[in-house]
Amino acid sequence: MDTLRILHLEDNPDDAGLVQQALALPETTPILTRVDSRAGFAAALSKGEFDLVLSDSSLPGLDGQQALTLVREQRPDTPFIFVSGSADPRWVQQSYHLGAFDVVSKEQLWRLPPVLKNVRATRQNRRLNQLATSRALLVEIVKQLSLARSLDAIVDIVKTGARQLNGADGATFILRDGDQCYYVAEDAIGPLWQGRRFPLRACISGWAMLERKAAVIPDIYQDPRIPHDAYRPTFVKSLVMVPIRTEAPIGAIGNYWANNRQPNEDEVALIQALADSTSLAMENLELYKDLERRVQDRTQRLQAANEELEAFSYSVSHDLRAPLRALQGYSDLLLSQVQPPLQGQAQSYAERLRKSALRMQVLIDDLLNLSKVSRAELHYGQTSIGRIAQEIMASLQNTSPPREGLQLDVDASLQAQGDPGLLRIALENLLSNAWKYTGKTAAPHIEFFAETPPGGGAPTYVVRDNGAGFDMAYAGELFQAFRRLHTEAEFPGTGVGLTIVQRIVRKHGGHIWAEAAPGKGATFRFTLGSGPS
């Protein structure tokens, strides 16, 4: 059954009784507070909250239209109905002009029930509209909390949002600090307790945290849980206090009003939902801080690893090349200047020594290239990838013996978004492999072109040859460093080139894969994605 709190301005007891009889409805329980003077009206209006005001045309010392004006100023949403013996049309018209909800003649009290139904319907619609607005606001506040990256940001969002949600006269944000309540921040029409601390068991926020539930107090001076002396200097007459997190509360959020009012279930639910969202935001804040610490630790470790890699690269480049040059130089001297010239087994040993030194030199170069590619920064831009491929093939032809029946099909018009230097390195490795593995093929054929999906989209670049190929059973090892699918005697190499290609493609946000068959050539396809990864 609906409860309707009514302030009734009537100095005639008989008329008051008749009105009360007319208000006896099966679906509504009216709670009447009758006043019969200006002083009584002022006291009731300041002390309590009412759903409706009924008023005679006049009281001792108070004109009814003056009372209407006061209600409009102090409680603009409270309906005001005249129940009067006056039938002057001009007075009635003026009452409507001042904001009266309705005017009912004391001779027509039968009109009160339908008027009350309209009041209830209006109140319900207003409540639904306010609830919809508050829920939309709550969603926006939760979005803001999800982006908060500091406690100060959370506090600013919550203190303002808590007041706006329920149209309160004040809101406060409290954190638990051991056995004390710390009033961190507030947004209110007057000063409260910002920056102060109180014992957990001596304030209502502590009660909400200890009991792990909301405290709803329509009149603070009638509630034994309230330390009245602490509230007397403030504007607060009623409040709602909810815990931040019901399991092991870490704080509380309060709504305050400057008049006595009974917060409804929707208002309590809204502020509790905000407190729950605040709890999640604070937990996320700890996660973000932990994540930032981990990122910083990892960045420091990566920096240290890069420094070690730089030192290693310098050592490889400087310290290992010197003895290699000595090995290579002395093996050349043994083969060219020793008299009499080396023969037989001695000559074979010297040639093997020189060949091993040369292979080690190539391996060091590949290791350094792999390291440089891994650490290189991308310089993204439009790249004529087809012309780069054409230049590489021309260089291979100029530095190699002529080949009979050689067929090259390179689409020089191809464009790509990427780093020109790194893409050149990738194509040099892919096309050099195609050149190498077609070295024993009659009528070698090497292609470079692009495939575009039927519906459009990013192209797939293709390097294809009809050379030695490989068994797809070992394709999983293809891009692993130093893993080779052919022997050194068949085709020399270090097994690093394809690893370099894969890292360059991945740096561009792309993917590379291969198809092949022994003796039937190999096809390498790669994409470059939509940007650097």
Whether residue 389 is found in the same domain as residue 337:
no
For the ranges 111-115, 267-271, 343-347, the maximum mean pLDDT occurs at: 267-271
pLDDT at residue 313 in the model: 61
Report, as an integer, the average pLDDT of 41-65: 83
Whether residue 386 is found in the same domain as residue 336:
no
User: How far is it, in rounded angstroms, from Cα 523 to Cα 110?
Assistant: 94
Whether residue 355 is found in the same domain as residue 411:
no
Domain membership of residue 83 (yes or no) is yes
How do residues 192-210 score in pLDDT, each as one tens digit? 999 999 999 999 999 999 9
pLDDT at residue 319 in the model: 61
Give the lowest-confidence range in 20-24, 237-241, 269-273, 527-531: 527-531
Whether residue 386 is found in the same domain as residue 430:
yes
Q: What is the pairing mode between strands 28-35 and 2-9? A: parallel
User: How far is it, in rounded angstroms, from Cα 366 to Cα 496?
Assistant: 6
C-alpha dihedral (393, 394, 398, 404), degrees to nearest 10: 70
Domain residues for the domain of 230 are 147-286
Domain membership of residue 234 (yes or no) is yes
pLDDT at residue 481 in the model: 66
How do residues 487-501 score in pLDDT, each as one tens digit? 665 666 666 778 888
Contact between 251 and 274 (Cβ < 8 Å): no
Of the chain, the percentage scoring pLDDT greater than 70 comes to 87
Instruction: Give the pLDDT band (50/70/90) at residue 531.
Output: low
Domain membership of residue 467 (yes or no) is yes
Q: What is the mean pLDDT of the chain?
A: 83
For residue 124, the domain's CATH number is 3.40.50.2300
pLDDT at residue 3 in the model: 74
For residue 200, the domain's CATH number is 3.30.450.40
Domain membership of residue 141 (yes or no) is no
Q: Give the domain-ending residue among 340, 355, 375.
A: 375
Give the lowest-confidence range in 21-35, 97-111, 283-297, 309-323: 309-323
Whether residue 238 is found in the same domain as residue 174:
yes
Whether residue 388 is found in the same domain as residue 452:
yes
Domain membership of residue 152 (yes or no) is yes
pLDDT at residue 487 in the model: 64
How do residues 247-298 score in pLDDT, each as one tens digit? 889 999 999 998 888 888 888 988 998 898 888 888 887 777 777 777 788 7
Report, as an integer, the average pLDDT of 459-473: 88
**Into how many domains does the chain fold?**
4
pLDDT at residue 476 in the model: 76
pLDDT at residue 309 in the model: 59
Domain membership of residue 316 (yes or no) is yes
pTM of the entire structure? Answer: 0.49
For the ranges 60-64, 238-242, 466-470, the maximum mean pLDDT occurs at: 238-242
Whether residue 425 is found in the same domain as residue 370:
no
Whether residue 276 is found in the same domain as residue 398:
no
Whether residue 98 is found in the same domain as residue 45:
yes
pLDDT at residue 208 in the model: 94
Domain membership of residue 296 (yes or no) is no
Instruction: Give the pLDDT band (50/70/90) at residue 301.
Output: confident
Q: Give the domain-ending residue among 128, 156, 190.
A: 128
pLDDT at residue 464 in the model: 93
For residue 458, the domain's CATH number is 3.30.565.10
Instruction: Give the pLDDT band (50/70/90) at residue 23.
Output: confident
Whether residue 522 is found in the same domain as residue 391:
yes
Cβ neighbours of 98 (radius 10 Å)? 15
Per the DSSP assignment, residues forming a β-bridge with 7 are: 33, 53
Structure tokens at 347: 């000559």
Per the DSSP assignment, residues forming a β-bridge with 254 are: 172, 241
Whether residue 325 is found in the same domain as residue 200:
no
> Could you tell me which of 72, 75, 95, 74 has the C-alpha nearest to residue 83?
95
Cβ neighbours of 138 (radius 10 Å)? 19
Query: Would the pLDDT of 486 be above 80?
Result: no
> Could you tell me which of 520, 392, 420 has the C-alpha nearest to residue 467?
520
Query: Would the pLDDT of 217 be above 70?
Result: yes
Q: Give the domain-ending residue among 255, 286, 317.
A: 286
pLDDT at residue 472 in the model: 83
Report, as an integer, the average pLDDT of 458-486: 80
Report, as an integer, the average pLDDT of 76-99: 85
* Torsion over CA: 16, 19, 25, 28 (sign): negative
pLDDT at residue 489 in the model: 58
Q: What angle do CA 49, 53, 59 make, to 5 degrees?
A: 115
Query: Would the pLDDT of 386 be above 80?
Result: yes
Give the chain's end-to-end CA distance (angstroms, integer): 64
Whether residue 190 is found in the same domain as residue 280:
yes
Domain membership of residue 435 (yes or no) is yes
User: How far is it, in rounded angstroms, from Cα 367 to Cα 387?
Assistant: 27
SS3 483: coil
Give the lowest-confidence range in 167-181, 256-270, 304-318, 403-417: 304-318
Query: Would the pLDDT of 460 be above 80?
Result: yes
